[in-house]
Structure 1
Amino acid sequence: MPPKIAATGFPERGKAENANLFKEFDPKKIGKDNRFRFNLRSEDKNVFHNFFAFIIQLRCIAALEGLKFTGEKFVYKLCLGDAKSYENPFMIVSVCFEGLYKIEFLIYKPNVKNVGFCINGGWGLVRDFSEVTNYIFEDSDQLLYDSSYRSGVPKRYSFHIFQNAIVNLFNSRDEASFRSLCVILCETMKSDEILRVVGGSFGKDENEVRKEVELSTRHTSIISSWIETSGLWYLYDMGFEWDPLHLYPDLVFQDADACSKSLALAIKADKKLEYYVERLRNLSPEKRQKMQRRPIQMKGF
């Protein structure tokens, strides 16, 4: 029997926060290239290692394709081209248990967010899981589903969270266990720095696992400045110097080379980035040209 989870169904158009994600969504239209499957088997001695490797694979795919999708959308937002179709913004991740049943997660690639799930052929929306997430981290009230940590990013990641999430789902197969796995799946996909550090917990020998991993100040700074770094990367890629208005003097990345080495490039343009772009629009053409690494033509600038 699969976990008993109340399927809320997809919202009516325009009546829910995530309605715009689903108004033209049809799971059947998602092709094989955007479907990924992992089979959890209790007799698999390397199940934790394999599961973690699977998440890393998903993170790379989501980062590359999500970045491309968001870049197209961002270009259109600045009136730089014609309307885009924004193909393949979604990916489906199927987690199967003992080969008996499966849960499908619908991942929105641009912000690596789990927005839907499917059990027994019925799709439902995923709500915020913060109230049912039990993992408490040092210097963090709770690991929130949307990655908005109340008191800064966690400084300690325990490898037990991966083990416990899978074991609990094997043993209880209830809603809380399902949601915990869902949280871990998405949150660990969001930051390459976290993946790199936690991935190091495997050690040289797969059988010798370090139980806890401390994040350095650099790691937490990277995660905290994720959105600003992403926004600056878009502007840099469009032809501007790195942080041309010098609005982010405290960023952990002071130049594009340092940023590109980290892979902390991806996700989405937020209101702060829109404000930044508006400031650039209001500059005189002469001042703006001085900030550009190469000549670029922009409608609306």
Structure 2
Amino acid sequence: MDRFVGIDIGCTKMLMLAEYQGEKITKTVPTGFAVTREHLKNEIVSFIQGLPFTPSGMGVAVVGFVENENKVVFSSLSSLTGITTSDLQVGDFPVYFINDVKAATLHETSSIDPNTTSVVIVIGTGIAMGIRANGQFVNGANGWSGELGYIPIPTPEGTNRLAKLAGGIGVLEMAGTDAEDLQQRLEQGNQEAQEVILTAGKYMGIGLAIVINLLNPEKIVLGGGTLKYKGYYKAALEHAQQHALPDLWNACTIEQSKEPGFMVAQGARRFAFRS
């Protein structure tokens, strides 16, 4: 895959990734909900021009629903809705679109027995899930399977979506601060900050238990920036075990991605290589 490029376009940043002679070449730029297609393309052009090789293909992973590998039908980044691969064509090499969580799933399950039922969950700004069984993605009727962040969770304050309770934006809203300040508070042992993270981890654990009880997967891989908060992962595992059926819990291995920051971009590269 040396001459293939992976692009991960998310709600807060775009990561561009290539590899050359065993070394990663990366560039990260901010995005945000107001980012334009022109800005994205200009940044990609700049990255491609700086590479020491001519790419053989480029995979672009996006937050949203992708159709036929060449069009984004809908995205929470409004500038991506309706975009086609021709809009991001930056050379003579082919460009392919893939959903970001499916890209992560493709990468994380590439070395797993294809007969294994595997789940990849990205806990970033929101929460989404990819499923592979018998070597195939589980897509659903309209390709929207895996919207784990939208499952309703009862709380003392009323029913809310899992993403609001355990996703990155939800955590920051509950903490009333930004990610950097929250990290500092956690390092300082701030009790209120710790309570926010433990509560969010608890609800994520309930979400994991739902996945385990419904799908009986052999493996779950977790990624995403929300896992960096101290205490979150541990709380999630504790509550997942508490709410999952014992036999199903014992049959499932849960682990964090070894490359959480690159799992989506690496999956996009792999998708372009395989296409």
**Is the structural similarity TM-score above 0.5?**
no
Higher relative contact order structure (alpha carbons within 8 Å, sequence separation ≥ 6)? 2
Larger strand percent: 2
Task: Report which of the two structures shows the higher radius of gyration computed on alpha carbons.
Answer: 1
TM-score by length of 1: 0.26
